[in-house]
């Protein structure tokens, strides 16, 4: 599940072929209003529950319980979906934490209020209207070439303002996680949105250990060293998750 301001396309270049080449049937879901090939229309009435329904619809077409990867906002969607559904495994990748994004929002405003103002513009109009060079640190490391950053920003979409508010307190956390669903929690050292401390807090709730990748930013699947994140996930899958399917 992709995060805010983007679509299923974030998985197409690297992650989908990587996991397909390693023997996993792989699919990426476009949450409503995020397909860059459709008229996005007015998205601000859409809520997290609508995104959960999108995930439900996608899973209904599968022959077996899936292993879900949720990035950023998509991680919150996956966690809400887990409240009433089961999966063969879950990867929370730079995911919003169960306790919501309020600490992140306050921290971002304190660290870089101008960048937060640019993100507010992206919320309404899409990332294409913002200053890519000034907002790249919200998503990407300095190692990603500017022309690639600009290309990604040009494909971005506005994000529901309703969802933005719901992420502050997304009807979580899960107080006592005692279900037998393997969960892998992955974060990035230089993540502006979801700091390593937030990633570790998420891992603690799900009674597991977080993996933090050095020298990587929020959009891990698009970073130059994306393969490190993919390899961590693959190692976790090979360490017993795949055999349970």
The answer as to whether 114 is a domain residue is yes
Number of helices (H) and strands (E) in the chain: give both, helices first.
Answer: 10, 4
CATH number for the domain spanning 101: value is 3.40.50.1820
Report the predicted TM-score, pTM, of the whole model to 2 decimal places: 0.86
The answer as to whether 59 is a domain residue is yes
Instruction: Give per-residue pLDDT as tens, 87-138.
Output: 999 999 999 888 776 666 556 555 665 565 556 555 555 555 454 555 676 7
Full domain range(s) for residue 224: 8-244
pLDDT band of residue 183 (cuts 50, 70, 90) is very high
The answer as to whether 117 is a domain residue is yes
Total number of domains in the chain: 1
pLDDT band of residue 39 (cuts 50, 70, 90) is very low
The answer as to whether 2 is a domain residue is no
Q: How many CB atoms lie within 10 A of CB 102?
A: 12
The answer as to whether 3 is a domain residue is no
Q: Strands of the chain (E only): list them.
A: 67-71, 89-93, 183-188, 210-213
The answer as to whether 181 is a domain residue is yes
Instruction: Give per-residue pLDDT as tens, 52-66.
Output: 999 999 999 999 999
The answer as to whether 215 is a domain residue is yes
- For tokens 């022959």, the residue is 63
């Amino acid at each position: 599940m992709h995060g805010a301001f983007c679509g299923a396309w974030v998985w197409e270049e690297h992650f989908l072929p990587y996991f397909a080449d390693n023997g996993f049937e792989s699919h990426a879901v476009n949450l409503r209003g995020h397909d860059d090939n459709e008229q996005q229309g007015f998205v601000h009435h859409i809520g997290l529950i609508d995104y959960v329904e999108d995930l439900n619809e996608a899973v209904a077409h599968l022959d077996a319980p899936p292993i879900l990867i949720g990035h950023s906002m998509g991680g919150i969607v996956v966690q809400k979906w887990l409240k009433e559904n089961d999966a063969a495994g879950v990867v929370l990748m730079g995911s919003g934490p169960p306790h919501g994004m309020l600490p992140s929002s306050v921290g971002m405003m304190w660290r870089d209020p101008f960048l937060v103002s640019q993100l507010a513009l992206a919320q309404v109009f899409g990332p294409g209207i913002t200053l890519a060079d000034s907002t790249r640190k919200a998503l990407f490391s300095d190692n990603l070439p500017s022309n690639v950053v600009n290309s990604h920003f040009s494909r971005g979409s506005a994000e529901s303002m309703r969802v933005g508010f719901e992420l502050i307190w997304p009807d979580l956390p899960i107080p006592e996680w005692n279900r037998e669903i393997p969960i892998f929690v992955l974060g990035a050292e230089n993540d502006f949105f979801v700091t390593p401390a937030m990633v570790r807090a998420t891992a603690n709730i799900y009674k597991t250990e977080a993996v933090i990748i050095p020298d990587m930013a929020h959009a891990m699947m698009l970073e130059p060293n994306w393969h490190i994140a993919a390899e961590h996930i693959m190692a976790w899958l090979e360490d017993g998750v795949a055999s349970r399917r």
